[in-house]
Amino acid sequence: MEALETQYNSLKDLAKSLMQSGNLAEYFRIISRANQLQLRILEHGLRTNR
């Protein structure tokens, strides 16, 4: 789980950099991947907190 959170944070940082540089196509690709990871992290949290 920690690896997913690290990857998520890295993708968020990369997306921010891409947005600032104006590379919107790559930004949306990366932010979509980050959103998928965030969902996996949230789902894992829901399963483990029951």
Structure token digits, residue 44: 């894992």
Look at the alpha carbons of 32, 33, 34, 35 in this order and tell me if their dihedral is positive or negative.
Answer: positive
Which tens digit of pLDDT belongs to each residue from 30-41? 999 999 999 999
Which residue reads 């907190």 in tokens? 49
pLDDT digits (tens, 9 = 90+) for 3-48: 999 999 999 999 999 999 999 999 999 999 999 999 999 999 999 9
How far is it, in rounded angstroms, from Cα 16 to Cα 42? 22
Residue 32 or residue 50, greater confidence: 32
Domain that holds residue 26: 2-48
Do 11 and 33 contact (CB within 8 A), yes or no?
Answer: yes
Q: How many structural domains are present in the chain?
A: 1
